[in-house]
Amino acid sequence: MLTPFTHLFISKNRKINFELSLIIRDLVNVPLVSGYYYVNWKLKNASHATGTTERIHIKDHQITWNHPINTIIQLVINKQQVLNDCELKLDIYQKGGKEIGTLSINLSEYAGSGITTERYLLQNCKFNSTIKLSLRMNIKPDSTPNQPTSYPHFQTPPISKRQIFKDIPTVIQERKERNKKVDLPPPILTIRKSQSVMSLPRFCKLQTPCEEPSPIDVVERLFAVRVEPV
């Protein structure tokens, strides 16, 4: 990991500036009914590196900030032509100093990928609370007039899926959107009425004798079931 001191000695050709536009949208699934909540955020190698959202009152177990962050961050290309990690750290607090949870994501994974909106499961949290972020990272244009702009070649690290949270309604909606794009009807799984009352573990076992299905597969299969009369 690069320290601020070693960052100064890296060749200019290995550094690339990105314009970061980030919105801290909301926090949901908070099993509390009162209090004000806020987010402290921190970035490395950024022109605007730290900040705090407004303190917002919880309503219906949800806190909505829609807090914008616009800054320039400088990433480094390593010897394998892959962007080094750039950590965004979020600390979520209840007014009074009680920590609700944290989130740490690698912004290098999203460089040049357009507008991305995801919901993330909080870390170090006693609840299954999730925070929603929207972000975009574009290469900062060269400000030198009358000169063609050239950028060094780089690759982004793969996006870590383990932090991204997708609930059942989200899975169903994404499935519908995929079916619309390919213009195909949703897959239909026909079972007899007597089978429809079998337990979920037995149903999964009969349908996948070789390997265990993922939770998303189980949800999609259940919603694709059509019961026929005996």
> Given 165, 190, 218, which residue is the final one in a domain?
165
Burial 87-114 (b: 16+ CB within 10 A, else e): ebebbbbbeeeeebbbbebbbbbbbeee
Q: Residue 204 has what pLDDT?
A: 47
Q: Residue 97 has what pLDDT?
A: 87
Per-residue pLDDT tens digits for 1-17: 555 545 555 778 889 99
Per-residue pLDDT tens digits for 93-147: 999 989 999 999 999 999 999 999 999 999 999 999 999 999 999 999 875 455 5
How is 142-200 classified by DSSP, letter by letter?
P--TTS-------BPPPP--TTB---HHHHHHHHHHHHHHHT-PPP-EEEEGGGTTS-H
Stretch 186-206: mean pLDDT, rounded?
Answer: 47
Shared-domain flag, residues 92 and 65: yes
Shared-domain flag, residues 153 and 206: no
Burial 2-40 (b: 16+ CB within 10 A, else e): beeeeeeeeeeeeebbbebebbbbbbbbbeeeebebbbe
The CATH number of residue 46's host domain is: 2.60.40.150
Q: Residue 18 has what pLDDT?
A: 96
CA 75 distance to own-chain centroid = 20
Structural domain containing residue 122: 4-165
Shared-domain flag, residues 200 and 106: no
Shared-domain flag, residues 182 and 207: yes
pLDDT confidence band for 202 (50 / 70 / 90): low
> Given 150, 165, 180, which residue is the final one in a domain?
165
Shared-domain flag, residues 79 and 180: no
Q: CA-CA distances (angstroms) from residue 226 to 59, 188, 200, 217, 229?
A: 38, 7, 16, 16, 10
CA 174 distance to own-chain centroid = 15
Shared-domain flag, residues 187 and 78: no
Stretch 15-28: mean pLDDT, rounded?
Answer: 96
Domain total in the chain: 2
Q: How many CB atoms lie within 10 A of CB 120?
A: 17
Shared-domain flag, residues 16 and 126: yes
Shared-domain flag, residues 30 and 112: yes
> Given 148, 165, 182, which residue is the final one in a domain?
165
Q: Residue 74 has what pLDDT?
A: 94
Shared-domain flag, residues 137 and 25: yes
| 163 pLDDT higher than 90 | no
Residue 198: half-sphere exposure toward Cβ, Cα within 13 Å = 17
Per-residue pLDDT tens digits for 42-97: 998 899 999 999 999 999 999 999 999 999 999 999 999 999 999 999 999 999 98
Shared-domain flag, residues 68 and 139: yes
Shared-domain flag, residues 122 and 183: no
Q: Residue 7 has what pLDDT?
A: 56
Q: Residue 194 has what pLDDT?
A: 42
Shared-domain flag, residues 180 and 153: no
